[in-house]
Amino acid sequence: MNNSLFFRSFSKLILGCLVSHMAFLSNACMGQLVFEPANSTQKKSVVLVAGDEEYRTEESMPMLAKILSQKHGFKCTVVFSMGPDGADYIDPNHSQGLRGLAALDQADLMIIGTRFRNPVDEEAKHITQFLNAGKPVIGIRTATHAFQGKGNFGGLAFGDFGLKVLGETWVSHHGRHKGQGGRSVVEAANSSHPILRGVGDIFTPSDIYGVIHLSDSDTILLRGAVTESLDPASPAIAGEKNSPMQPLAWVRTYPRPNGSGTGKALCTTAGASVDLVDENLRRLIVNAAYQLTDQAVPTKADVSYVDSYYPSFYGFIQTPNYWKNANLKPEDFGLGKTPNLPDPPNSPEWKFRDFPAKK
């Protein structure tokens, strides 16, 4: 190879690396983390929206994205809540911090776990377009009260997202918060639903939510039995609290904000980062991703972790500048990486999860 040809080839290689690196930095600064599918030409695209002060979706959404991309062939983009004034660190307490929702413009599915977000107009418009196209939505835990504020998604008020799209809004803690857990019970009439394929009992250390607004057109897949404690082996409590049991997961159709038709949604009120230690909850979500994107649901989807997963317990963190000082970046959750943060103050001891090896 002559020097001129070598120089041109080397220059193209360096340029390609720089472009890839700049794209990675751009995504990170936008509050995005992208996982390309491993060994797949499927290229169905999922956007996972994190951003809540309590249940640690900044931990759970990257873990789910790794499973969906590396084991099931979905292209996944995680959108985080970022710090104020263009900061490059993750800040779940910043209600206007969602940055990078433009990824929804090419998405086939949105998985959302936000809590009381108030997105700026430039970001909110992408959710409007997504819903007006009738694309499917999976909502976990606080997605029933995902947004608040005076804005709207093309006429759908921020505060009505949960009720109108997912079928429920914030109601109550039906179980005792941080004291009683929940266990799934299959709704017998819908036990053969594809989303339940290979899904066994689910235990959640987050309490069961009150659910009162579902209609006859909504299909309940699971109900949640309140358990005596946060121990996965604890029995369901006796008495009126579990009679009837609250819905835990359901599927429904939602009206598009522009009135042009409907879309499909699954909602589960489970979904704290520690809830997702349960492989059957992970399988429920993966199955729903297949079903809602019109693909065959596997007999028993592989939902084992791609990287280690060290979820922190749920709870509010109100220490001034906590997230600025933690300085977590989207890329810290990339492949091969697993951040580990301490539990919030006054968390109960909950040993039923993995912890990093002590040095």
Q: Where are the domains of the chain?
A: 32-169+255-333
**How many helices (H) and strands (E) are present in the chain, helices listed first?**
6, 12
Give the pLDDT confidence score for residue 18 in this predicted structure.
Answer: 36
32-169+255-333 — its CATH code? 3.40.50
Give the pLDDT confidence score for residue 41 in this predicted structure.
Answer: 72
Give the pLDDT confidence score for residue 358 in this predicted structure.
Answer: 84
Give the pLDDT confidence score for residue 21 in this predicted structure.
Answer: 38
State the burial class of residue 15 (Cβ atoms within 10 Å of its Cβ: 0-12, 13-18, 19+). Answer: exposed
Tell me, rounded to whole angstroms, the distance of Cα 178 from its chain centroid: 21
Structure-block tokens of residue 290: 């297949």
Structure-block tokens of residue 258: 């522009």
pLDDT tens for the chain, 359 residues long, are 455 444 444 344 334 433 333 343 345 447 899 999 987 776 799 999 999 999 999 999 999 999 999 999 999 999 999 999 999 999 999 999 999 999 999 999 999 999 999 999 999 999 999 999 999 999 999 999 999 999 999 999 999 999 999 999 999 999 999 999 999 999 999 999 999 999 999 999 999 999 999 999 999 999 999 999 999 999 999 999 999 999 999 999 999 999 999 999 999 999 999 999 999 999 999 999 999 999 999 999 999 999 999 999 999 999 999 999 999 999 999 999 999 999 999 999 999 999 999 87
In the beta sheet, which residues pair with residue 138?
A: 111, 266
Give the pLDDT confidence score for residue 2 in this predicted structure.
Answer: 53
Give the pLDDT confidence score for residue 16 in this predicted structure.
Answer: 41
Alpha carbon distance 25, 32 (integer Å): 10
Output DSSP code: residue 189.
G
> CA nearest 50: which of 117, 120, 136?
117
Give the pLDDT confidence score for residue 43 in this predicted structure.
Answer: 78
Alpha carbon distance 315, 294 (integer Å): 36
Give the pLDDT confidence score for residue 326 in this predicted structure.
Answer: 97
Q: Which residues contact 29 (CB under 8 A, 6 or more apart)?
A: 88
Structure-block tokens of residue 323: 């997230």
